[in-house]
Amino acid sequence: MRSWMPSFGKGRCVFLNRTQKLVYFSFFLTLAAVLGLLESLLPNPLPLPGVKLGLANIVTLLVLYVFGLKAGVSLALLRVIFVSLLTGTFLSVGFWLSLSGGIISALVMGVLLRHCPVFSIVGTSIAGAVMHNLGQLAAASLLIQTSYIFFYLPILLLAGIPTGLITGYIAGLLLPSLGRRFGHKTACRK
Amino acid sequence: MTKADLKLIGILIIVALCLFGAGRWLFSAVDEGQKAVIKSCGKLVRVIDLTANTPEQQIMVEGRLGISIVEIGNGKIRMHDSPCPDKYCVHQGWASVPGQAIICVPNEVVIYIEAEDAELDAILR
Amino acid sequence: MQTINRKILFATGCVIILALFLGGLYIRQPREYFSEEFLMDTLVSISTYGADTDLLQQATREAFSAMRQIAEKTDRYARHKDPLHTINEIDRINDSAAIAPVKVDADVFAMIKSARDYYDLTNGAFDITIAPLIDLWGFGTEEPRLPSPEALTKTLSLVDASSILLDEAEQTVYFLKPGMALDLGAVAKGYAVEKAAQILSAHGIKKALINAGGNIRVLGERTANDPWRVGIQDPRDPSGILGILNLNAEAATTSGDYNRTFSIDGQTYHHILSKKDGYPASGTISVTVVTKDAFSGDLLSTALFLLEPEAARKLAESMPDTEALIVTSAKKILMTSGLQQKFESTGTEGYSYD
């Protein structure tokens, strides 16, 4: 059976078979879900809706780098579903907002990774954070139907920058060690 | 952090500021004035912005009994005259604050200032 | 071959997700159905919430229909305004109850009976036989006037609810004195609103708001975590509020001296007349009561208005499931002890709290 290729790099890289990949994916999913839950427990200092740290996106970012676009988007989707099931908000308004934000963000980040290597992990993360907010706003405007929603656009754009910076930076710290494990180019180039 | 990252951040900030400016300009009417809604027999007749710039005018509103005259001036609105016996609606005077309403029950004409007050579900009058 | 299958799988997955997304957007939201009508001298609006808009519409129509019927039965002025008017319950009572007992329908009888109970509760201050006095002042006509003291004294002798004889078995009303007449203005709206609420409830509607100006009735909670928020108008400033009531499945009613007034020679007279001297009641400028049903709320808000503020508070305090907020003419606000939990003051200037 053909084993999974890591998304980047050749040379001294580790190849995983399907089972191993599944196990690691489940691990990342659980990690992302826990981070998501933890964040929902923290009080929100700002009264702005949809402005949150997005710690779980660190995992999304890592999975996108190491396992590719499909895996990353699936992770985002499943994570939102799990967290909402666990917090009892499944299929609520907030669920749809998180879902649209999460999927759009993962998609955009995944595409940027593959086609725009000019951006570092931090830049990709910022783009992802901004798209996450925009995705939520788009969903909210469909559900709530007032034009007043668009007042939030500039704030959400700006808010994506620091949150993207932080999550991107942390992901960047973790990526080399992960890369060594799964054969990401940061390790394979050596 | 690459140069491209910094450019991205820069673009986002610029776009955000532009949108902010555009938003202020587009929605400034809402910020400064209120919207007055005139209804007759349950049907919407007109919606008018009550800003300081709204020209003074009188609007004839056809109601159940006859014509009520609604007067607007100085960002305020009132029932100038109405074909009802009590003329309570006329005695109410000028309205300009969100949530205020002037109702002529016999003629079924309603003037109310749109309340952006999402806080309250109703007011006991 | 495998790649193509996987792509199809992936595409199908995306389509399913998209469908769920769109479907979720459509299905999940409870709808609101809003309708309003001019009734009983005010604009009555009913907001109902639920998944089935047809049900909401049907229930709202029935509710308004019931309210219209109550309004028609209790309107004393209809005969003067409408040449084609057919004689209604209140007409029959006021025309003939002094001559012989008049049989009335269940709704009207219930209204009069409760009003009689409140007459006793307020030691006679609340009295629905006040119609001759109201007519003397001309409230409800094109020319309200200031009556002479002699006319007042003469008319006051006709205001005596203790002279109403009610027969529950026969459902009849009889006046012991000729010239007596009833005005159901202080009770009809509350009765109608409560009837409407019962109809909505009977249709299975769990969340609704009926707004009849000074009579508000809510069904259920606003959301699982939030109560309905209803403001109390500042009696001296129509654009301001004294504070906000947090309500769940109850009724709030306000009586104030500012809604129906007329002025002569710079003096303003309002329509809540006291039978002590025949003049508008003066110690209080606004009363708001929170009760389980809108009918008792309507009765109580007027009754408390006609008592001295402190006596009014005591009476409300003694009644179960009842809270009241009384504003005296000195702009002092008295509240029953249970009201603290439901009321948030906005700290309006000029008002002091007891």
Q: Give me the interface pTM, i.e. the ipTM.
A: 0.83
Is the domain of C235 the same as that of C331?
yes
Number of structural domains in chain C: 2
* B1 vs A: CB within 8 A: yes
Domain at A84, CATH number: 1.10.1760.20
A119 closest CB neighbour out of B5, B13, B23: B5
C209 closest CB neighbour out of B86, B101, B121: B121
B82: closest CA of chain A, how far (Å): 35
Residue C180 falls inside a structural domain: no
Please give the residue of chain B at the shortest CA–CA distance from A147. Answer: B27
Residue A105 falls inside a structural domain: yes
C260-269 long-range contacts (CB < 8 A, ≥24 apart) are C260/B86, C260/B88, C260/C139, C261/B91, C262/C139, C262/C144, C264/C145, C264/C146, C269/C137, C269/C144, C269/C146
Most confident stretch, B66-70, B82-86, C186-190: C186-190
Show the low-confidence residues of chain A (pLDDT under 50).
1-12, 185-190
Task: Please tell me the predicted confidence (pLDDT) of residue B55.
Answer: 81
Is the domain of C208 the same as that of C338?
yes
* B10 vs A: CB within 8 A: no
Q: Which residues of A touch B23 (CB under 8 A)?
A: 150-151, 153-154
Spell out where C292-339 has E strands: 323-328, 332-335
Is the domain of B10 the same as that of B22?
yes
Is the domain of C262 the same as that of C133?
no
Is the domain of B11 the same as that of B44?
no
* C25 vs A: CB within 8 A: yes
Looking up tokens 């509240």 gives C335
Is the domain of B22 the same as that of B39?
no
Is the domain of C316 the same as that of C247?
yes
Out of C175, C195, C214, a domain closes at C175
Domain at C228, CATH number: 3.10.520.10
Q: Which residues of A touch C30 (CB under 8 A)?
A: none
How does pLDDT run across C211-249, given as a tens digit for each residue? 998 999 999 998 877 899 999 999 998 878 899 999 999
Residue A2 falls inside a structural domain: no
Is the domain of B24 the same as that of B47?
no
Query: Which structural domain, as residue segments, surrounds residue B64?
Result: 33-113
Is the domain of C128 the same as that of C216?
no
How does pLDDT run across C306-340, given as a tens digit for each residue? 999 999 999 999 999 999 999 999 999 999 999 99
Looking up tokens 């180039």 gives A189
Q: What is the mean pLDDT of residues B26-52?
A: 74
Query: Which structural domain, as residue segments, surrounds residue C235?
Result: 31-72+186-353
Number of structural domains in chain B: 2
Out of C175, C209, C225, a domain closes at C175
Q: Which residues of A touch C11 (CB under 8 A)?
A: none
Q: Where residue C198 falls among pLDDT bands split at 50, 70, 90?
A: very high
Task: Please tell me the predicted confidence (pLDDT) of residue A10.
Answer: 43
Is the domain of B23 the same as that of B71?
no
Is the domain of C148 the same as that of C199?
no
Q: Which residues of B touch A123 (CB under 8 A)?
A: 1-2, 4-5, 8-9
In the predicted structure, residue C179 carries a pLDDT above the cut 60: yes
Residue C57 falls inside a structural domain: yes
* C214 vs B: CB within 8 A: yes
* B23 vs A: CB within 8 A: yes
Size of interface A-C (CB pairs under 8 A): 18
Q: Which residues of C touch B88 (CB under 8 A)?
A: 259-260
Q: What is the mean pLDDT of residues B19-23?
A: 76
Cα C248 to Cα C228: distance, rounded to the nearest angstrom: 6
Domain at C149, CATH number: 1.10.3980.10
Angle A59-A63-A66 from CA coordinates, rounded to 5° = 140
Residue C146 falls inside a structural domain: yes
Q: Phi and psi (nearest 5°) for C72?
A: -65, -40
Task: Please tell me the predicted confidence (pLDDT) of residue A4.
Answer: 34
Task: Please tell me the predicted confidence (pLDDT) of residue A16.
Answer: 67
Residue C8 falls inside a structural domain: no
Higher per-residue pLDDT: A186 or C180:
C180
Q: Which residues of A touch B12 (CB under 8 A)?
A: 126, 130, 157-158, 160-161
- The b-or-e profile of B51-67 (16+ CB within 10 A means b, else e) is eeebeeeebebebbeee
Domain at B72, CATH number: 2.60.320.10
